[in-house]
């Protein structure tokens, strides 16, 4: 069974850095073609793709957020970490991680349950 779960702070102050961890099981990020991505969803709004990391450590970011995002992986812990700097109230959202494949680039399946992060002073 493949599972992913997001963890991290649920409340962040403006200007702080957010660090989110995606812990997964049932697959390995050392396997060819496997990727893990981050997607967020502000309350009542649409999904927004943030970043992806590939099995070979290639990384890609949303052009609009690229300067603020960093994605890394720890294959020994089966974890992917996303950091987002200079948080703002508009970054309040549920943050999801999901598995995908380089052979099927938008096939996010499955998804984690999501973590609601609120940015407020």
- Residues forming contacts to another protein in the complex (CB under 8 A) are 37, 39, 46-49, 52, 60-64, 96, 104-114
Residue 77 or 107 having the CB closest to another protein: 107
CA angle centred on 43, ends 42 and 47, rounded to 5°: 45
What gap in Å lies between CA 27 and CA 47, rounded to an integer? 24
Plot region of 66 (φ>0 → left; ψ -120 to 50 → alpha; else → beta): alpha
Smallest gap from Cβ 102 to another protein, in A, equals 10
CA distance 44 to 75: 34
Coil, strand or helix at 117: strand
**Rounded least distance, CB 70 to another protein, Å:** 16
Residue with Cβ nearer another protein (27 or 49): 49
CB-wise, 79 or 94, nearer to another protein? Answer: 94
Q: Tell me the closest approach of the beta carbon of residue 5 to another protein, in angstroms.
A: 11
């Amino acid at each position: 069974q493949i599972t992913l779960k997001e963890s991290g702070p649920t409340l962040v102050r403006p200007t702080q850095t957010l660090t989110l961890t995606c812990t997964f099981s049932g697959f390995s990020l050392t396997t060819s073609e496997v990727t893990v991505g981050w997607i967020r969803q502000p309350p009542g709004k649409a999904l927004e793709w943030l970043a992806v990391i590939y099995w070979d450590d290639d990384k890609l970011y949303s052009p609009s957020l690229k300067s603020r995002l960093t994605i890394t992986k720890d294959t020994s812990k089966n974890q992917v970490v996303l950091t987002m700097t200079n948080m703002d109230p508009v970054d309040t959202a549920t943050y999801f991680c999901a598995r995908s494949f380089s052979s099927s680039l938008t096939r996010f399946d499955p998804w984690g349950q999501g973590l609601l992060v609120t940015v407020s002073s």
